[in-house]
Amino acid sequence: MVFCINLARVVFAPLIEPIRATTGASDATLGLLATMAWAGSALPRLPTGVLLTRISRAKVIFGSGVVLTLGTTFTALAFDPTLLLVGAFTMGLASGVYLTAANTLVSELYPERPGRALGQHGVASQLAAVGAPALISFVLIVGTWRTALQGIAVAAGLVTIAFTLIARRSQLPDAGSEDRDLLGAARAQWHIIVTSVATIGVAGMVWNGLFNFYVTYATSVGLSAGSGRTLLLLAFGAGVPAFYVSGRLADRLPSIPYLLTILAAFTGCVLVLPSLTGFWSLAAFSVVVGYVIHSIFPAVDAYLLGSLPDRHRASAYATYGAGMMVMQAPGSALVGRLLDAGVTFPTLLRGMGIALLVVLVAMVSLHLDGRLPSAARA
């Protein structure tokens, strides 16, 4: 199910150029289209946390599947650009609801090795991102961008039915039975929530803006759109082993040093990108940056979900998810607006790298001063 959820969230990256060709939309509009999916993923995080204090994880996951099926169907049938934005937002809503409930459930199913379990769940999610460019390239041969969305809608409906049948026959944990106060959990665990948001927020925003315009960037340095999609595929493909390996490392390594190492590596990647030219150098970069950025997601999830007590887990994780996604969501819209304003990619990338460097220095300073929590409060 997570395959369909993440496919709906990343599908607009390889569809940006086909949509531009048929609609004549500007970079700003296309950036907003991708941003609406991510904004939709951010908005329901806190409301989902409230839902999880009242109903089971399985029922919330079922609801996310219904929303995804209906939202993708609506988007595939929309002709007005405004309705496309509404549809993308609805597709994003489904991912926000699903990930908040499902990641919590996964960590409760495997409490002894949450990093490993979350990493495997992330692998399934990342396979969608890996397959998106190739899948879209194939679909565009036999149909249009609407055909791709129609296929996602059908698949989402089928996997939602399958999940519901399996959940009804399974004995699921009730570890969150005491989690009934979202605000109380957020107040009690604010140290680890803020640390997690700070670690991933700006990095996620930069990555969001970068990968949604990765094909556009490739064409700006003289490569074809097809080569750009190949680079995007390499970046997402590197995320598959990243989720698998990083989830296991997160169970074994000290959380804060590991997270800061990943953040430092990603900062270096963004700063070095403007100096690279040619397909092969960008291909190598794509593999490295894809591995690095995708390593941070299971690491942060394990840091949070592996140490939060049962009575706070879903509520605190939902609060973190809301803050993290609010920071990430504007990435592609910001990049699109700056490109329309005449800012070049090299200038834009250097600015992003400097912003990441400021965050990294601040986080390292706080860690050396002993002010970053190594785990949640009991």
Q: What distance in Å separates the CA atoms of residue 107 and residue 109, rounded to the nearest whole number? A: 6
Convert the pLDDT of each residue in 320-369 to its tens digit. Answer: 988 888 888 788 888 988 998 999 999 999 999 999 999 999 999 999 99
Q: Please state the φ and ψ torsions of residue 110, each to the nearest 5 degrees.
A: -130, 70
Task: Count CB-CB contacts under 10 A for residue 181.
Answer: 14
The pLDDT of residue 171 is 80
Topology (CATH level 3) of domain 2-368 = Growth Hormone; Chain: A; (1.20.1250)
Q: Which of 26-40, 62-76, 221-235, 330-344 has the highest mean pLDDT?
A: 62-76
The pLDDT of residue 74 is 92
Mean pLDDT, the chain, whole residue set: 89
Residues 6+ apart with CB under 8 A from 51: 60, 101
Place of tokens 């595929």: 233
For residue 182, pLDDT beyond 80: yes
- Which of the four pLDDT bands, split at 50, 70 and 90, describes residue 193? very high
- Which of the four pLDDT bands, split at 50, 70 and 90, describes residue 176? low
The pLDDT of residue 258 is 96
Q: What distance in Å separates the CA atoms of residue 164 and residue 336, rounded to the nearest whole number? A: 39
For residue 83, pLDDT beyond 80: yes
The pLDDT of residue 81 is 74
CA angle at 10 for the pair 69 and 236, rounded to the nearest 5°: 135
More confident residue, 206 or 113: 206
Mean pLDDT is lowest, of 24-28, 258-262, 356-360, for 24-28
The pLDDT of residue 126 is 86
Q: What distance in Å separates the CA atoms of residue 51 and residue 65, rounded to the nearest whole number? A: 15
Convert the pLDDT of each residue in 282-312 to its tens digit. Answer: 999 999 999 999 999 999 999 998 888 888 9
More confident residue, 99 or 137: 99
Residue 321 Rama label (left phi>0; alpha psi -120 to 50; beta): alpha
Domain coordinates in residue numbering, the chain: 2-368
Contact 293, 207 (CB under 8 A): yes
The pLDDT of residue 378 is 62
The gap between the terminal CA atoms of the chain, to the nearest Å, is: 32
What's this model's pTM, rounded to 2 decimal places? 0.84
Mean pLDDT is lowest, of 7-16, 112-121, 148-157, for 7-16
The pLDDT of residue 175 is 66
- State mean pLDDT over 179-195: 90
